[in-house]
């Protein structure tokens, strides 16, 4: 699963073929279909595995007893660090795994995950600032997408964190 996850994360859903996936994980295409049903089935499992491993970062931040003005900038800084981890694919698999994809079902897989994360962010913000929750949840997702995209373009951690710090005033 980790091998498939890294391929999808690094190259995106559309750029990874079934034959390549099978070869990378050491099974023939018919066995891949038998095990996962389809390339989409494997992608769904890879996204779920990625979220199971890394989604806890968001959950841990949202559980903190801190003001939104401190919490959300700290979370975005952590995202910038995560998206630029040495030796790992850059950016966020959920945010970028289906960018430029022509596959509506694959897009729906990541869209559901993004919406669920956004709703969790909105709900946390709403506990403190209900009138700002929708706007700030959208803003947070937009900033995260930008951080992910720039990390994939090779922008370093220091620059991403500086950008987050410049954007943090929105949460004040």
Give the pLDDT confidence of 22-81 residue by residue, as tens digits: 999 999 888 888 999 999 999 999 999 999 989 889 999 999 999 999 999 999 999 999
Query: Structural domain of residue 137, as residue ranges?
Result: 2-171
- CATH number for 120: 1.10.357.10
More confident residue, 32 or 124: 124
- The residue among 165, 169, 170 whose CA lies nearest residue 79 is 165
Residue 55 pLDDT:
87
pLDDT for the residue numbered 39: 94
Please enumerate in sequence order all residues whose Cβ is within 8 A of that of 120, keeping only pairs 6 or more positions apart, or say none: 58, 59, 62
SS3 92: coil
Domain total for the chain?
A: 1
pLDDT of residue 133 exceeding 90, the answer is: yes
Nearest of 134, 136, 4, 117 to residue 61 by alpha carbon = 117
List all residues 6 or more positions away from 128 whose beta carbon is below 8 Å from its beta carbon.
67, 68
pLDDT at 29: 85
Return the sign of the alpha-carbon dihedral for residues 143, 172, 112, 55. Answer: positive
Token pair 């700030």: residue: 136
Average pLDDT, whole number, for the chain? Answer: 95
155 pLDDT more than 90: yes
């Amino acid at each position: 699963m980790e091998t498939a996850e890294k391929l999808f994360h690094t190259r995106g859903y559309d750029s990874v073929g079934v034959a390549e996936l099978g070869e990378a994980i050491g099974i023939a295409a018919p066995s891949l279909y038998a095990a996962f049903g389809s390339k989409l089935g494997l992608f769904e499992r890879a996204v779920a595995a990625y979220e199971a491993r890394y989604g806890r970062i968001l959950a841990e931040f949202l559980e903190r007893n801190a003001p939104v003005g401190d919490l959300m900038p700290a979370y975005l800084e952590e995202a910038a660090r995560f998206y630029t981890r040495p030796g790992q694919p850059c950016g966020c698999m959920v945010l970028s795994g289906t960018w430029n994809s022509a596959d509506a079902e694959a897009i729906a897989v990541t869209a559901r995950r993004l919406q669920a994360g956004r709703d969790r962010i909105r709900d946390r913000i709403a506990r403190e600032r209900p009138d700002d929750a929708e706007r700030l949840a959208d803003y947070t997702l937009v900033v995260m997408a930008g951080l992910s995209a720039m990390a994939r373009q090779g922008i370093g951690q220091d620059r991403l964190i500086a950008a987050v710090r410049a954007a943090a005033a929105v949460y004040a």
